[in-house]
Chain A
Amino acid sequence: MDPVLIANGLNISFEIVTLALVAMGLAVTLGLLGVLNLAHGEFVMIGAFCAFFVQEQGLSYLWAFPLVVIVCIVIGWPVERSIIRALYSRPFDTILATWGLSLLLREIVEFFFGPGFNSVDQPVSGTVNIFGADYPLYQLLVMLVAVLLIGALVAWYVKSSTGRRIQALVDNPDLAKSVGIPTIALARNTFIFGLCLAGIAGVLLAPIVAVYPGMGIDHVLKSFFVLVVGGLGNVVGLVVGSGVIGGAESIVAAILDRTAGYTFVLIVALLFLWKKPGGLVSR
C-alpha cells in the first residue's frame, strides 16, 4: 500500500481517537447527568499538569494515572457537593457555574506552575514503521489505550449494575429514587468519574502537546460537536460522532484549509441541530 495513504490514515485515526478520548468524560457527564461541564477542558489540563508534576519529581510517567484520579476526586467531590448538585435541574446555570469553575481552575494552576509552557517527555520515544509509514510509537500507544478505554466504558455501561443503575437514573430520576437507587451518591460518583476520564485524557495527551494553564479550550471545543452529532445516548454515538467530526474536518482541511475544515464542522453541527436534534445515535 501507498505509505502516504497509510500515513494519512493513521493521522485521521489519531485525530478521531483522541477526539473520542477527550469527549468521553464529557459524554458521561452530559449524557448521563445532563450537566454540560464547561470546565471539562480544565480537567484535561489538570491531567497534563499531573504528568508534568510527576516528571518534575523524577518519578515514572505511569504515576501520573493514580495521581490524576486522586486529584480529580479531591477537586470533584467538593465541586459536586457545593456547585453541581444544586444545579442538576438548571442546565443553563450549570454551564455558567462550570464556566466560572474553569476560570478558577486555570488561575489556581497558574498560581502554582506559572503561565508559561511546560513540556512532558514521551515515556517511549522513537517511531515504528507501519507498512512503510514511520509513526511515533507513543501516539500508537495512545490510540491503543484510548480504544481500550472506550471498550471498557462500553462493557462497564452495558454489563455492570452501576451502568444499569445510571440508565435507570437517566430514564427516570424519581423512579430510580423510589426503587432505592441512591441517586445522590450515584450522581456524584458519575460526575467524578467523568472528571477522571478527562484527567486521564490529559495525562495521555501531555507528552505530545504544549502543557500550559490555558490549554483546556484547545482540546475540549470539538468534543461538544462530537456530542451534537453523535447524540447523548451511548458510547456508540460517541465513536460515530468522533468519526464524523474528526474525519470531516481532516478531509476538508486537507482539501482546502484548516479554516474551511473548522467551518465545515460548525455547519455539520448546525445541520444536525436543525434536522436531527437527537444526534445520530439517540437514546
Chain B
Amino acid sequence: MAWLAANLAFITAILVVLPQIVGDFWAFTLALFLLYAVACLGLGLSWGQAGLLSLGQGFFVGFSAYTSGLILIGFSASPWLFPLLGLSVIAPGLIAYFLGCMIFHGRAQNTAFFAIITLALILLAAQIATAWESVTGGYNGLRNIPGLPGFSELEDAYTVSAVALGLSMMFAAWIMQTPLGVLWRALSQDERRVAFLGFNHNQLKSVAFGLSGLFGGIAGTLYAPQNSLVTPDLFGFLLSTSFVVWVAIGGRNTLYGPVLGAIGIGLATNTLRESIGFWEVVLAVIFIVAVLYFRKGLTGTVEPAIKRRFERNDRVRKSAPERHSAMTFDRIDIENLNLSVGNVGILEDLDLTIGSPGIYCLIGPNGAGKTTIFNAMTGELEAQSGTVSMLGARGIKMDARTQTIAGLGRKFQVPSVFDELTVGENLAIALWSGRSSRRDLLRMSLLDWESPVLAELERRFPFLAGRRQMVGSLSHGQRQVLDLAMVLCTEPRLILLDEPCAGLSLAETNEVISTVRWAVDRFQATAMIIEHDMAMVRELADRVFVVHNGSMLFEGSVAEVQSNDAVQAVYTGIAK
C-alpha cells in the first residue's frame, strides 16, 4: 500500500511539473507520446510481466482509434457518446483476450508464433483500413473527427492524456502488486511449474494479453479526438515495433520503464531524426545492446530497489482457507503402459499398483524410464497404449492443472522455483493453489496468507521464514527444499518426487526425509519417490518398485529387493 501511495504522489507530481519543464508546445507534442506511453504500459504488462512479446500492440491502438473516430463523427451530440467511447476502450481488450485464448490453446511452440501472429495482425489491419474506404476513409484516413465535447483542442490535449496516463499507471501499479501480477511474473519464468501448481496458465496469459489490449484501447480512443485524423499508419509495422523498442530500453518489467521509454525515446526520435541522419542506427544498436546485456532496461535495477524500501516487514499474516479438495486415498492402477518417443520405446507393458497410502520408492538404472512414468501419469508425455487410474479418474485425460487441483503434487528433478520472485511469493503461490478463486487473485490479502503446514515447514527450515529474500540468491540445497515446501503447501494426496535430495547436505537430507514422512502421515497421502541413494530408500520406503528397461522388474519391501537375485543381476550400480 505504501508503494501504491508513493506512486500516486510521484506520478501526479511528475505529470503536473512536466509541462513547466518542457514548455507549452512540447507539452502539446507530449500529449501524443503520453498516449503512446499508455499503450506501452499495456505492452509492459503482457511482455514484462507475463512474458508475451507482442509485435502488434498498434493493432489495439488503431482499432479503437478508428472506432472512437467513427463514434465521435456519428454520435458527437448524442447522450450515448461517452458510453459508446467506453465500448471502444473495452472492445480491443476483449478481442485480445479471445485471441489469446485461441492462440494459447495449442500447447506447443507458440512463443515465437505468438509474436508472428501479432505482427501479421497489424499488417492485415493496415490493408483492410486502406482498402475499406467507405468506412475507414482509406489511405488518407478518417478525417475531421470532432474533439471530445467540453475539451479545448490545444490547451486540454496534455491534460486529457496526462490524466489517462496517470490513471493507467495507477491501475498498472495496482495489478502488478496483486497475486495476479505475482502469478504473471511466475509464469514468465516457468510456465510448466505454474500449471503444476494448479493454475490455468493459458487463461492467465490471455488475461494479460487482454489487459494490454485494453490499454491500447485507452490510448486509441483518446488518440482520435486529439488528432482529429486517424490513418492506417497506426497499424504500421513502424509504430508497433517502436513500442517494443521503447519498452525494451525503458525496462519491460517495471512500472516506469515503458512510460519512460515511450516519452523519452519517442520524443527524442521525433526531434532527432530531423537533425541526426543516423539516428535509426544509434537506436538499433542501443536496442540490441539492451536486449543482450541490459534485459531489465533503464529502470530495471533502480525501481525494484526503491520499491523494496516501501515494503514493510511486519505484515499481519492471515490464515489461508481450507483447500477445496479433501480427497481421501484413491488407488493407483497403471496397466500395460506403452510409451515411445520417436522410434525409441521407453515404457513397455508397464504395470504398477498402489493399494494403500505410504511411501513408495522407484529405483532402477539410468534410462530405465522412472521419470517417464511420472510424465505419463501427469500427461506430460502421451502413452501409445495402456491405462492409468489415479486421483479418482481413469485414463489420463486430465492436464497438470486439474490433477493438481484434485490433489497431485509433483516436484521435478531440477528445482523448479521462481528465481526472480521472493521466497514469500514462491510459497504464497503454492498456498493459493486450490484455495483461491479467480476473483481472489486481485486481493492483496492473499499475499499474507499462512497455513499450519507452512508454519511447520518454516519451523523445520528456518530460511523459509526470510520471506523477502530473492530466490535467485538461495543455495542449491535451499532451492530444492523450497521446491519441496511449495509442493507440500498445496497439501497434496499424491506426491511425486523426483530425487528430492539430490545435491543436499547430510543434515538437509535428514530433515527432508523426516519432513516427507511427516507430510505423508499428516495428509494420509501416497508418495512416489524416484531415488538412487539406497540409504535413503532404506530410510523412507514402505515399498520399492524396481524399474528396468521400461518394465516393472520387481516389487517388494526394501529387504526383499535387496535379497532378490534378479534385481541384483541387472542392478549392480548400487552398493548394498
A residues neighboring B (CB under 8 Å): 30, 34, 36, 82-83, 86-87, 91-93, 95-97, 99-101, 103-104, 107-108, 171, 217, 221, 224-225, 228, 232, 257, 259, 262-263, 266, 269-270, 273-278
Q: Is B4 positioned at the interface, with any CB of A under 8 Å from its CB?
A: no
Q: How far is the CA of A117 from the CA of B386 in the complex (A)?
A: 63
**How many angstroms from the CA of A96 to the CA of B119 in the assembled complex?**
13
Indicate with 1 or 0, residue by residue over B91-115, a CB within 8 angstroms of chain A CB atoms: 0000000000011011111111101
* Nearest Cβ on chain B to A162's Cβ, whole angstroms: 19
Of chain B, the residue at the smallest CB distance from A223 is B116
Within 8 A of A (CB), among B44-58: 47, 51, 53, 55
Give A275's nearest chain B residue, CB to CB: B106
- Docked complex Cα distance between A169 and B123 (Å): 35
Could you say which residues of chain A place their CB within 8 Å of the CB of B119? Answer: 221, 224
Q: Are A266 and B106 in contact (CB under 8 A)?
A: no
Is A270 touching B131 in the complex (CB atoms < 8 A)?
Answer: no
When C-beta atoms are compared, the residue in chain A nearest to B47 turns out to be: A92
Cα–Cα distance between A95 and B52 once the two chains are bound (Å): 12
A101 near B288 with CB under 8 A, answer yes
Using a Cβ–Cβ cut-off of 8 Å, how many residues does chain B contribute to the interface with A? 42
List of B residues within 8 angstroms of A107 by Cβ: 278, 280-281, 284
Flag if B123 contacts A221 (CB, 8 Å).
yes
Q: How far is the CA of A270 from the CA of B119 in the complex (A)?
A: 12
Can you report 23 residue pairs joining A to B where beta carbons are below 8 Å apart?
A91-B111, A95-B55, A96-B287, A99-B241, A100-B284, A103-B281, A103-B283, A103-B284, A107-B281, A171-B342, A217-B237, A224-B120, A259-B128, A262-B124, A263-B124, A266-B124, A269-B117, A269-B120, A270-B117, A276-B106, A277-B108, A277-B110, A278-B109
Q: Is B276 on the interface with A (CB-CB < 8 A)? A: no
Is there contact, CB below 8 Å, between A277 and B117? no
Residues in A neighbouring B284, C-beta threshold 8 A: 100-101, 103-104, 107
Kindly state the separation between the CA atoms of A211 and B373 in the bound complex, as whole angstroms. 56
Given contacts A91-B111, A277-B109, contact A228 B116 (CB under 8 A): yes
Contacts of A36 in B (CB 8 A): 112, 115-116
A264→B55 CA distance, assembly (Å): 20
Known: A93-B295, A259-B131. A273 touches B115 (CB 8 A): no
Which chain A residue lies CB-closest to B109? A277
In B272-290, the 8 Å CB interface with A consists of 278, 280-281, 283-285, 287-288
A91 / chain B contacts, CB cutoff of 8 Å: 111-112
Contact of B106 among A86, A87, A273 (CB under 8 A): A273
- How far is it, in angstroms, between the C-alpha of A275 and the C-alpha of B105 when the chains are bound? 8
Shortest Cβ-Cβ A-B pairs, 4 listed? A277-B106, A103-B284, A100-B288, A36-B112
Q: Is the CB of B127 within 8 A of A262?
A: yes
Q: Which residues of B (255-287) have their CB < 8 Å from a CB of A? A: 278, 280-281, 283-285, 287
The answer to the question of B21 belonging to the interface, with a C-beta cut-off of 8 Å to chain A, is no
Whole-angstrom CA separation of A279 from B211 in the bound complex = 29
B121 close to A (CB within 8 Å): yes
Q: Which of A97, A171, A232, A259 contacts B291 (CB 8 A)?
A: A97
B116 to chain A, nearest CB (A): 5
The one of B110, B117, B281, B292 that contacts A86, using a Cβ cutoff of 8 Å: B292
A224 contacts B116, CB within 8 Å?
yes
Chain B residues within 8 Å of A100, by CB: 284-285, 287-288, 291
In the complex, the chain B residue whose C-beta lies closest to that of A104 is B284
Contacts of B121 in A (CB 8 A): 266
Among residues of B, the one whose C-beta sits closest to the C-beta of A103 is B284
The one of A92, A97, A99 that contacts B51, using a Cβ cutoff of 8 Å:
A92
A60 to B: closest C-beta gap in Å:
34
A274-B127 in contact given A228-B113, A269-B117, A269-B120 (Cβ < 8 Å): no
Are the C-beta atoms of A232 and B111 separated by less than 8 Å? no
Q: How far is the CA of A181 from the CA of B280 in the complex (A)?
A: 41
Least CB distance from B15 to A in Å reads 30
Task: Name the distance in Å between B346's Cβ and chain A's nearest Cβ.
Answer: 13
8 Å CB contact of A96 from B102, B113, B248: B248
B244 at the interface (CB under 8 A from A): yes
Pair B53/A96 contact, Cβ less than 8 Å? yes
Measured CA separation A257–B130 after assembly (Å): 14
In the bound complex, residues from chain A placing their C-beta under 8 Å from that of B291 are 93, 96-97, 100
Give the docked Cα–Cα distance between A92 and B295 (Å).
Answer: 11
Q: Which of chain A's residues have a CB closer than 8 A to the CB of B285?
A: 100, 104
Give Cα distance in the complex from A99 to B280, angstroms. 13
Identify which of B113, B120, B281 gathers the most chain A CB atoms within 10 Å of its CB: B113
* Nearest CB in chain B: distance from A218 CB, A: 11
Task: Judge whether B106 and A103 touch: CB under 8 Å.
Answer: no
User: Are the CB atoms of B128 and A92 closer together than 8 Å?
Assistant: no
Q: Which residues of A contact B131 (CB under 8 A)?
A: 257, 259
Residue on A nearest B280 in the bound complex, by CB: A107
CB distance from B196 to the nearest CB of A (A): 20
Pair A259/B127 contact, Cβ less than 8 Å: yes
Least CB separation from A86: chain B residue: B292
CB distance from A270 to the nearest CB of B (A): 7
Contacts known (A274-B102, A277-B108); A266 close to B120, Cβ less than 8 A: yes
In the assembled complex, the CB of A27 is this many whole angstroms from the nearest CB of chain B, namely: 13
Give the one of B47, B51, B108, B342 with max A CB within 10 A: B108
- A238 CA to B237 CA in the complex, in Å? 26
Q: A259-B131, A266-B124 are in contact. Are A96 and B106 (CB under 8 A)?
A: no
A82: chain B residues at CB < 8 Å are 292
Residues of B within 8 A of A275 (CB): 106
